[in-house]
Amino acid sequence: MRHRHGYRKLSRTSSHRAALLKNLSIALIENEKIETTVPKAKELRSYVEKLITAAAKGDSNAHRTVFAALQSKEATNKLVTEIAPKYADRKGGYTRITRTRIRRGDATTMAFIELV
């Protein structure tokens, strides 16, 4: 049973899952809208919203925290200087998931995840 289990494993090892979420979040920050599968989008939503909340302070410690998670200078700088200040007065809900289509190859439901 998986009652009250905290996250989706996405059929990956923990290091693979961490790398996947890091790369998806970098793509989302740089492009502000990406298409992925629904389970990945739902897991990414939690990951990115925590980063945006941490970046909202805008100080050097926020830079360090976000860079430790992303390992990308460009994405970190864009998140802390451009994206997070837009959400300073918001308590959460920085992303939107919109289901789009069923992928032809494996019939997986796809979705757009975008910054609101």
pLDDT-derived band of residue 18, with 50, 70 and 90 as boundaries? very high
Domain boundaries along the sequence of the chain: 14-115
Give CA torsion, residues 87, 26, 35, 31, to 10 deg.
Answer: 70
For residue 49, the surrounding DSSP H or E stretch is helix 38-55
Q: How far is CA 89 from the centre of its chain?
A: 20
Give the tokens for residue 26.
């970098």
pLDDT tens for 20-59 read 999 999 999 999 999 999 999 999 999 999 999 999 998 9
Other C-beta atoms lying within 10 Å of the C-beta of residue 5: 8
- Closest by Cα among 93, 89, 83, 102 to 28: 83
Question: For the domain 14-115, what is the CATH superfamily, name and number?
Answer: Ribosomal protein L17 (3.90.1030.10)
